[in-house]
Homo-oligomer: A and B are copies of this chain.
Amino acid sequence: MPETPPHPLTLDGSSVLHQMFRFDWPAWRRAGTADRERALSEVTALLGPLEKASEQGHPNQSAVFALLGHKGDLLFVHYRDTIENLARIERDIARTEFGAYLQPQHSYLSIVELGLYESSSKLYAQLASEGIEPYSDQWRQRVEETIARQSAAMSSRLYPAIPETKYLCFYPMDKKRGEHVNWYTVPMANRARMMQDHGLIGRRFAGTVKQVISGSIGLDDWEWGVDLYADNPGVFKQLIYEMRFDEASALYGLFGAFFVGVRLPVADVGNWLALSRNS
């Protein structure tokens, strides 16, 4: 009997793009009042409708945040049905008059993902017990059926609306592949247990933080992106600090840059960017 696959099945949902921009304040100041107003009115006309989730099976939606620190001034989050539509909104923003004041600093491309550690293990065991060869046609069919069934059941988590909290924390992460400590050589049962323990911590914060996990292997420079949404930004620190001690994070978690933003409703963008009275 050949080995069962080492990877859990995953369910894929919305395509996600995070865009971090520095705002060109000196150019904004040099522009005339009429130019600024025209630019604002165009971009808010573009983004305003996208702020509301269009709920026809898939909530294509965008949101704006004021970023903290030198990593940028504005963060745009886009959830879409396809990567092509992410390219399109990126282009749509760039070609506005407002786009000329946006200097790209960072970005992140990913797809909302749910990892099925538990049900994959069960399914693989079941298929093995039936004598079905991994990756055979029959095997694939059964796997696809499972994915289709689970995707339907988890649709609201795969295609989430952007939570309406005041704060966002975004960061990318990897599982370590060191010379001695290597997530990808750990047996699947152990990984499943570690991920379950890891998930328990998240659940303790369920009332205060909403998580959206997206996978980015093959799409961007880290393996996953994590969106945390909360009204109290102190819980970002508390949650991730507690997680740092669980086995999955302590031994295997590698973290990229952290981005923290304060929600900026599209209707308030103009006020936020208003020059000081002095001008």
Which residues of B are found within 8 Å of A52, using beta-carbon distances? none
Interface string of A217-250 (1 = CB under 8 A from B): 1111100000010000110111111101100011
Which residues of B are found within 8 Å of A206, using beta-carbon distances? none
Interface string of A146-189 (1 = CB under 8 A from B): 00000000000000000000110101000001111110110000
Q: Closest CB of chain B to A134's CB: distance in Å?
A: 10
Complex contact A216–B245 (CB within 8 A): no
Complex contact A100–B29 (CB within 8 A): yes
Q: Closest CB of chain B to A250's CB: distance in Å?
A: 4
Contact A71/B107 with A179-B179, A179-B181, A250-B185 known, Cβ cut-off 8 Å: yes
Q: Is A94 among interface residues, defined by CB-CB distance under 8 A?
A: yes
Complex contact B70–A104 (CB within 8 A): yes
Interface residues on A, range: 35 or more
Contact A87/B68 with A42-B276, A182-B251 known, Cβ cut-off 8 Å: yes
Interface string of A82-116 (1 = CB under 8 A from B): 01101100111011110110001111110100000
Interface string of A182-217 (1 = CB under 8 A from B): 101100000000000000000010000000000111
Contact A73/B97 with A68-B86, A237-B217, A250-B184 known, Cβ cut-off 8 Å: no
Q: Closest CB of chain B to A278's CB: distance in Å?
A: 4
Least CB separation from A46: chain B residue: B276
Which residues of B are found within 8 Å of A274, using beta-carbon distances? 95
Which residues of B are found within 8 Å of A25, using beta-carbon distances? 94-95, 99-100
Q: Is A273 among interface residues, defined by CB-CB distance under 8 A?
A: yes
State the A residues within 8 Å of B (CB): 5-7, 10, 12, 15, 17, 19-20, 22-23, 25-27, 29, 38-39, 42, 66, 68-71, 73, 83-84, 86-87, 90-92, 94-97, 99-100, 104-109, 111, 135, 166-167, 169, 171, 177-182, 184-185, 204, 215-221, 228, 233-234, 236-242, 244-245, 249-251, 253, 256-258, 260, 262, 272-276, 278-279
In order of increasing CB-CB distance, the 5 nearest A-B pairs are: A69-B107, A218-B236, A70-B104, A184-B250, A218-B240
Q: List 17 A-B contacts (CB under 8 A).
A: A5-B242, A7-B244, A7-B245, A69-B104, A69-B107, A83-B167, A95-B274, A95-B276, A97-B276, A177-B253, A178-B179, A184-B249, A185-B251, A218-B258, A219-B236, A219-B260, A220-B260
